[in-house]
Structure 1
Amino acid sequence: MTQTASLETALQLIVAAGKTATAGPLAGLVAAIRPRRADDHDHPVNTLRSLAFLLNQRQDYRRSLREYLLELIGTRRQLHLYTDTGILSNEGLWSAFVRRLGEKLLPAEYRDDYLKDVLGKIFSRHDDYLWVQAVPDTVWLEVWRAMRFDEGSHGGDARNTRLELIEAAQVLSFRISAIGLEPELVRNHPAIEQFESPFLTQNVALRDYLECYKARLIDASALHEDDSHVRILLGQCEVIITKLRKTAAQEGVSISLTYLMVRLQQHIARLWLVLDLLAPEQGSRVPILAVQFCKQLVEADNRKTSLRDLFSNNTDLLALQITEHAGRTGEHYIAGNRAEWKSMARSAMGAGLIVGFMAILKILTAKLKLAPLIEAFAFSMNYSLGFMLVHILHFTIATKQPAMTAARIAASIEQHGIKGEDRLDTLAGLIEAVARTQFIAILGNVALAIPTSFAIALAVKYGLGEVWVTPEKAHHLLHDIDPFHSLALPHAAIAGCCLFLAGLISGYYDNKAVYNRIPERLMQLGWPRRLFGEARWQRACRYIENNLGALAGNFFFGIMLGSMGTVGYLLGLPLDIRHITFSSAFLAYSAVALDFQLGWEVWTLSIVGIVLIGLTNLAVSFGLALFVAMRSRRIRFVDGWALTRRLLRRFVRAPQRFFIPPKDQAANGGT
């Protein structure tokens, strides 16, 4: 069937329907306009222009479609379409998640007397909004004008729609007042209580405006009052929301606070739009406003059960704060000059020393043959307490750096916009500094983990005359780091995911410490002050404030590493972890256990395996952390190839700078 023929068939069904305004005929017309593929934007444009041509040529089509639409809209409850569609409810994030998940499995009840349900039936495909938005507004306006709403008398229908919009404005205004007085908002912006709140006064101003507006609907000679005062107050509400977001940068944020701010912004934006549709001076712009509003409503209805949209809209500020805290930590993991580079080397070597002892403790724990869950707990505590000790002693685990430095790089991309040669140079200099810092951190870890393990193994074997690592265990450890005959690299990728999650956990708890004012609340406890003394307890609280995130990240990182193998065993899946520093320590213990009788092939495979495990740890954790950091800032990196070429030129010109900073290197890590 040709394009015009399918349109005429749909229009004839509308003519036959008369004023029996069920959704079916209009759904058929939309189906004739809808492209087979959502990305085919030419088809709906051409079809809509054909529709406009038919309406201009055929008065019966024009009159029937116009009366049908007015009857369809006028006989249904419009309020919920204007106040609910595309706006979060007051149920909270997790309740909204459960409801949307339930509606995915079992659709909500369809009610024909509600216009919002009729809209969902007409635009029934989940991707309809793609082609609806892709059609230019001017094309939709051609169809609007072709229907010639100025023909005939439709005052009653127009008045009914205005009354629905008036009621919608009242509902939106009351909700704005209620959300604006939520304790969590007041807590983060106390000025709302100190001064007259615009969230309350906008409701009073709107009520006065709408009373005058309704009076003019009855008597055209009644006093006219514009909505300028309401708009000024709504602008003040938006200023407060902006201040709340800025405050969150210092005071922290929670999912519930973000949810409230998103709801508040949605209600204010919708009230702006309703006021525009009601304003008499906007008469000439009503068609274009209606088209834009319809596009929003179609998208909102199509995406009403989307779980991804729910979380992306309501966790963006929390994700930003988590990555911001991680980014501030990441600044300490970037050596900008020779002195910082040497300091990082010493810090990494200290961590390597501790890892040597942690590795033998894991081997000894495995020899106990504990029950799976008890063994997982023992492994987890070994890792967790060891990593926390590394942090307390100001040492550095190399593989923890990428999750932190990625947020710092993303912040640099956002700050400089990645446009222009100078800005590319700045970012290239930062990546160069990160690379050499990462190199010396890994080198420091491995350089002391291996000799420490050698020393422990030799002391046990020849000093105590005991065997802690049997030849069978040694062969097993060597097999585990073989990159070609074992799952070493997939397990290293799992460790990289754990490193990434540890970075997020660290940022989350840093944000939590600030937002929940944990140090200040700890200071109010009486018994620790009496037990430790006021000054000591105050120092302890300050330490918790500055280190809670790092300690929590290390603790949970240890649990993930220690329990991954047990989780795999319980699920029957080949899950485990491989970490470069521990792998190098296990190589040392294996070599001593086998009296260094390793062939060159084994040495080569083991060394290559350790290098590849390290690269996989770094690549996975850095890639995931950079992705989340950029998504949380809603930025796109568009000059990747240009930056890659710049880095290659730098490497060819001075490769040593990717490993050792020059003596005169500036402290900011620039060029």
Structure 2
Amino acid sequence: MSELKRILQQITALSDVPDPVVLKRLINELRVSDREPALANQNIQSLIDILRQHPEYADGLASFVLKLIIEYRQIALYTDTGIMSDQGFFNSLRRLIGHRFLPLLPQEDSVVELVGYLFNKRSDERWLANIERDKWDALVELLKVNEQHLDLVATAKNNILNAIIILSYRISGIGLHPDLMESYPQILNYSASFVAQNQEAVLFVNQYRQAHELDTLTDITPEKAVDPAPLLVMLEQCEGIVATVRKRIYKTGISIRLTNMMLRLDQSLQRMRILTELVTDDHQKRDHAVIELVQTLITTANRRYSIGYLIDNNTKLLSRKVTENASRVGEHYISTDKAGYQKMFKKASIGGFVIAFMATIKILAYQLALAPMGRAFVNSMIYGLGFVFIHVIRGTVATKQPAMTAAAIASTISDGSGKKSRQLTKLSELVVDILRTQFIAIMGNVMLAIPVALIISFAWLQYTGAPMIDTTKAEHLLHDLDPFRSLALPHAAIAGVYLFLSGLIAGYYDNLAVYNHVGARIQRHRLLRYVLPKSWLQRLGGFVEANLGAIMGNFLFGVFLGSTATIGFIFGLPIDIRHIAFASANLAHGLFNISADQISWSVILLSILGVALIGIVNLMVSFSLALFVALRSKEVRFFEWGRLTKLVFGHIISHPSDFFWPRDKPMKYARIDSQGHMIFDDTSAQKSGKPLPSNYVVRRLSDVRILPESKQAGAQNAQTSTDIYYANQPKGDHIQPHAPPKKVIDLDDGLVDEELNSVPYANDIQYGKTNNLSADSSAQNQRHRTDQNSADQSMSAPDSKPAGDAKTPLPKPKKPPKLPS
């Protein structure tokens, strides 16, 4: 503690001329290993105790940090740090690879470079994450700035307010982007929300600067605080629109570009909310906003040159794209009740019946004299066309994990589905239902593939008088199933990876079909319109659009299976595939055609064990990868996997039958029905669960506040639903609380409304007092008050610029101290 005191004394003494080296000494003293969370909390507690005993140290540290930060460029910190870049992946990758050979020049006037110098250890992010939230709260609460340093606070607030304006314009640009409008044309009905939030942001910033007199670099406490509620209402409306667009993705499809755009819009809205809370008078919200911003800054500064972090972010983007789109028809692999369980068994039985013939054709194809590439082509066609045929006749192949499963998993841990502990509990129950469904699918495949393969071998022998395969080939088939003397299990793992990839491919083509309107475009094809009747063409277009993902996923899965062995042969690698359904058919052919002196109980039991283990490996690998993608898209942290595993194993111990037989009372999921189909509702906003009202954009009137029940306010009557309550409502029967604004412009009416044409759009969302005056007189009064306030301030401060001007330039900061290399 004595060393901490000495450093704090030095910081207090140097608060007027801050040196980053001294602050780095303090951080080095607090730094511990990321494996010592108790020691990290102990060190922070020691710092808190010293600051409580010596308030002058707390003031010195606060003014030191504030003065140091002000010397650097801050606006990019608020507007860019921690928000997804719109730069392409390959451009960013090329830039970072070039940094390895020829280092990039650091932006020496950026706060990010300062933080990168202070927190230069890779473990900093992890040991800081181990510090308890209450200790962060206590530390931030102690770091208060005295009145003599309010000019520093004013400068910092000016930067924050400028950042709010910049983010507001960016949100408007993204919200009105053509790609977003094409994805969701109805957004035109609510597009004024993105414009109105900008109006609210500018008004809030102007009023805040004027009330706090920030343009004179003082930060007074006004008699009446500037209320951020109208701005927060508009941000909430924008978030509701984004949530609605997300719910329509299964209808409209989504591209990587649009996924990036939606993520940046989400992050920008969240950042704007944090910045608004930074300048409000709610101390608790302000302190939490400081902590969140600091943690984001440290993470970004620590990883700004990391190729792994770039890949990590973009794979999360791909994961989000996969899980946010699901097959509307496709293949479904989740059943929660007995009816769905029985239906899955029937579909798997159809698949097992066909697979027995596919395995037989593949065995017979080996008698053809083919070159390696010819062998790969024949095997790929057998697998691929066979899987597509199974899908067309409504069968299924065991252990397949389509992208819909990942979307279903992600839906149980959505942002609005409750606390993380409850979400993981629900997810563990979904895992049980998925594994049980996969079990019955495997049984359906195996229970049909084995007897049908035996019947085929027996019928071949009876019809031709010779066995279908010789004893050497039969022995080879059984050897390939041996889990101990062959590479059956590693080959099963390779098949599991292919099963997972086929799910991603299915999701990709499902999305492609919807996003590119493949069905409607097929119906407009000139040749097809000439050849086919209109009703047939409509059915063809609908079938292709609904099943393109499943068809391509199955076909390419077959290509993967059929070509792997040939690729291994060409490159001299011991790689091949093993799938439980084909393994069971090969088991039947091998046992029937092997010579009597070679067959024994040990061979039979070992082969059966091999088939079972192949199925387990197929299932676990493909399911684990699908689960990983789903959880990654929701940014579930690594240590939470352990909690999920404990929940699943606890269920195995307590209710093992649930993994093999449907529960008496099936589980119900918010967005998954009993057949495993995703439930989508694009008519409601994410938070309120009610339809978006037609008068979604409301005028901002004076003295507004958000009702606590407004988030749950119904929109059953669109004409009486608003999100704000007017505190100074005039008395009288002709104006009722919650009355909608008189002038609300619907931007989807073709822009031919006489009222819209008569009033400039900039004045359409106009801000004035709540009274009985007309809109024009209210606007004139507003301009008169603004002019009067500007005149009054000009008289009191003749050298200053008009208060409340969002374009008022800030004083140019001094050149920051050069950081040690």
- Give the TM-score taking structure 1 as reference length: 0.82
> Does the residue aligned with 2:268 lie in a helix, a strand or coil?
helix
Q: 1:70 maps to which residue?
A: 66
Moved more, 577-586 or 334-343: 334-343
- Checking the alignment, whether the CA contact within 8 Å between 1:335 and 1:433 is kept in structure 2 is no
Q: How does 1:206-355 map to 2 (within 5 A)?
A: 206-215=201-210, 216-218=213-215, 226-279=227-280, 281-282=281-282, 286-287=286-287, 289-304=289-304, 305=306, 306-307=309-310, 309-311=312-314, 313-322=316-325, 329-330=332-333, 336=339, 340=343, 343-344=346-347, 346-355=349-358
Question: In the alignment, residue 21 of structure 2 is paired with which amino acid?
Answer: G
Q: 1:46 maps to which residue?
A: 42
Q: 1:444 aligns with which of 432, 444, 448?
A: 448
Question: In the alignment, residue 20 of structure 2 is paired with which amino acid?
Answer: A
- Whose helix proportion is higher, 1 or 2? 1
Q: 2:75 maps to which residue?
A: 79
Q: Distance in 2 between matches of 1:115 and 1:650?
A: 55
Q: How does 1:449-460 map to 2 (within 5 A)?
A: 449-456=453-460, 459=463
What's the offset of the Cα at 1:100?
A: 6.0
What's the offset of the Cα at 1:297?
A: 2.4
Are the structure 2 counterparts of residues 453 and 534 from structure 1 closer, same or farther at C-alpha, using a change threshold of 3 Å? farther
Question: In the alignment, residue 81 of structure 2 is paired with which amino acid?
Answer: T
Question: In the alignment, residue 75 of structure 1 is paired with which amino acid?
Answer: E
Q: 2:526 maps to which residue?
A: 526
Moved more, 409-418 or 509-518: 409-418
Question: In the alignment, residue 241 of structure 2 is paired with which amino acid?
Answer: I
Question: In the alignment, residue 273 of structure 2 is paired with which amino acid?
Answer: W
> Does the residue aligned with 1:348 lie in a helix, a strand or coil?
helix
Are the structure 2 counterparts of residues 245 and 472 from structure 1 closer, same or farther at C-alpha, using a change threshold of 3 Å? same
Q: How does 1:159-238 map to 2 (within 5 A)?
A: 159-215=154-210, 216-218=213-215, 226-238=227-239
What's the offset of the Cα at 1:210?
A: 2.6
Are the structure 2 counterparts of residues 361 and 524 from structure 1 closer, same or farther at C-alpha, using a change threshold of 3 Å? farther
Q: Distance in 2 between matches of 1:202 and 1:230?
A: 6
Q: Distance in 2 between matches of 1:338 and 1:172?
A: 50
- Give the TM-score taking structure 2 as reference length: 0.68
Q: 1:494 maps to which residue?
A: 494
Are the structure 2 counterparts of residues 106 and 178 from structure 1 closer, same or farther at C-alpha, using a change threshold of 3 Å? farther
What are the superposed Cα offsets for residues 138-182 of structure 1, whole Å, 9 maximum, x if unpaired? 54455556565216x223322221221122112111111111122
Question: In the alignment, residue 208 of structure 1 is paired with which amino acid?
Answer: L
1:360 aligned onto 2:355: no
1:29 aligned onto 2:33: no
What are the superposed Cα offsets for residues 406-442 of structure 1, whole Å, 9 maximum, x if unpaired? 8768878999998999999999788656534431332
RMSD of aligned residue pairs (Cα, Å) = 4.3
Q: 2:131 aligns with which of 112, 135, 145?
A: 135
Are the structure 2 counterparts of residues 450 and 334 from structure 1 closer, same or farther at C-alpha, using a change threshold of 3 Å? farther
Are the structure 2 counterparts of residues 63 and 196 from structure 1 closer, same or farther at C-alpha, using a change threshold of 3 Å? closer
- Checking the alignment, whether the CA contact within 8 Å between 2:325 and 2:507 is kept in structure 1 is yes
Q: 2:655 maps to which residue?
A: 647
1:7 aligned onto 2:4: yes
Question: In the alignment, residue 320 of structure 1 is paired with which amino acid?
Answer: T
- Checking the alignment, whether the CA contact within 8 Å between 1:398 and 1:442 is kept in structure 2 is no
- Checking the alignment, whether the CA contact within 8 Å between 1:198 and 1:237 is kept in structure 2 is yes
Q: Distance in 2 between matches of 1:563 and 1:291?
A: 53
Are the structure 2 counterparts of residues 605 and 285 from structure 1 closer, same or farther at C-alpha, using a change threshold of 3 Å? closer
Q: Distance in 2 between matches of 1:539 and 1:290?
A: 57
> Does the residue aligned with 2:146 lie in a helix, a strand or coil?
coil
- Checking the alignment, whether the CA contact within 8 Å between 2:356 and 2:582 is kept in structure 1 is no
What's the offset of the Cα at 1:243?
A: 0.7
Q: Distance in 2 between matches of 1:501 and 1:248?
A: 21
Q: 1:483 maps to which residue?
A: 483
Q: How does 1:583-602 map to 2 (within 5 A)?
A: 583-587=583-587, 590=590, 598-600=598-600, 601-602=602-603
- Checking the alignment, whether the CA contact within 8 Å between 1:388 and 1:551 is kept in structure 2 is yes
Moved more, 401-410 or 578-587: 401-410
Q: 2:85 aligns with which of 69, 82, 89?
A: 89
What's the offset of the Cα at 1:246?
A: 1.4
Q: Distance in 1 between matches of 2:67 and 2:577?
A: 65
1:156 aligned onto 2:151: yes
Are the structure 2 counterparts of residues 48 and 421 from structure 1 closer, same or farther at C-alpha, using a change threshold of 3 Å? closer
What are the superposed Cα offsets for residues 103-139 of structure 1, whole Å, 9 maximum, x if unpaired? 6887653333211210121122233233334434554
Are the structure 2 counterparts of residues 102 and 424 from structure 1 closer, same or farther at C-alpha, using a change threshold of 3 Å? closer
Structure 2 unaligned segments of length 5 or more: list them. 637-642, 663-672, 677-821
What's the offset of the Cα at 1:203?
A: 1.9
Q: 2:375 maps to which residue?
A: 375
Are the structure 2 counterparts of residues 344 and 275 from structure 1 closer, same or farther at C-alpha, using a change threshold of 3 Å? closer
- Checking the alignment, whether the CA contact within 8 Å between 1:198 and 1:233 is kept in structure 2 is yes
What's the offset of the Cα at 1:405?
A: 7.1
Are the structure 2 counterparts of residues 11 and 107 from structure 1 closer, same or farther at C-alpha, using a change threshold of 3 Å? farther
Q: Distance in 2 between matches of 1:565 and 1:105?
A: 39
Q: Distance in 2 between matches of 1:434 and 1:97?
A: 39
- Checking the alignment, whether the CA contact within 8 Å between 2:348 and 2:397 is kept in structure 1 is no
Q: 1:661 maps to which residue?
A: none
Question: In the alignment, residue 397 of structure 2 is paired with which amino acid?
Answer: I
What's the offset of the Cα at 1:634?
A: 7.0
Q: 2:106 maps to which residue?
A: 110
What's the offset of the Cα at 1:389?
A: 2.3
> Does the residue aligned with 1:38 lie in a helix, a strand or coil?
coil
Moved more, 63-72 or 530-539: 63-72
Q: 2:706 maps to which residue?
A: none
> Does the residue aligned with 2:400 lie in a helix, a strand or coil?
helix
What are the superposed Cα offsets for residues 511-556 of structure 1, whole Å, 9 maximum, x if unpaired? 3322332111222221211123322222221221222122111111
Question: In the alignment, residue 293 of structure 2 is paired with which amino acid?
Answer: F
What's the offset of the Cα at 1:187?
A: 1.7
Are the structure 2 counterparts of residues 634 and 212 from structure 1 closer, same or farther at C-alpha, using a change threshold of 3 Å? closer
Moved more, 598-607 or 165-174: 598-607
Structure 1 unaligned segments of length 5 or more: list them. 659-666
> Does the residue aligned with 2:41 lie in a helix, a strand or coil?
helix
Q: Distance in 1 between matches of 2:586 and 2:144?
A: 81
Q: Distance in 2 between matches of 1:34 and 1:282?
A: 31
- Checking the alignment, whether the CA contact within 8 Å between 2:403 and 2:507 is kept in structure 1 is no
Q: 1:578 maps to which residue?
A: 578
Q: Distance in 2 between matches of 1:509 and 1:260?
A: 21
- Checking the alignment, whether the CA contact within 8 Å between 1:33 and 1:44 is kept in structure 2 is yes
- Checking the alignment, whether the CA contact within 8 Å between 2:327 and 2:546 is kept in structure 1 is no
- Checking the alignment, whether the CA contact within 8 Å between 2:250 and 2:328 is kept in structure 1 is no
Q: 1:612 maps to which residue?
A: 613
> Does the residue aligned with 2:332 lie in a helix, a strand or coil?
helix
Q: 1:663 maps to which residue?
A: none
Q: Distance in 1 between matches of 2:430 and 2:12?
A: 66
Q: Distance in 1 between matches of 2:201 and 2:406?
A: 47
Are the structure 2 counterparts of residues 178 and 456 from structure 1 closer, same or farther at C-alpha, using a change threshold of 3 Å? farther
- Checking the alignment, whether the CA contact within 8 Å between 1:584 and 1:610 is kept in structure 2 is yes
> Does the residue aligned with 2:339 lie in a helix, a strand or coil?
coil
Q: Distance in 2 between matches of 1:420 and 1:630?
A: 10
Q: Distance in 1 between matches of 2:455 and 2:325?
A: 37
Question: In the alignment, residue 106 of structure 2 is paired with which amino acid?
Answer: Y
What's the offset of the Cα at 1:89?
A: 1.7
Q: Distance in 2 between matches of 1:107 and 1:501?
A: 37
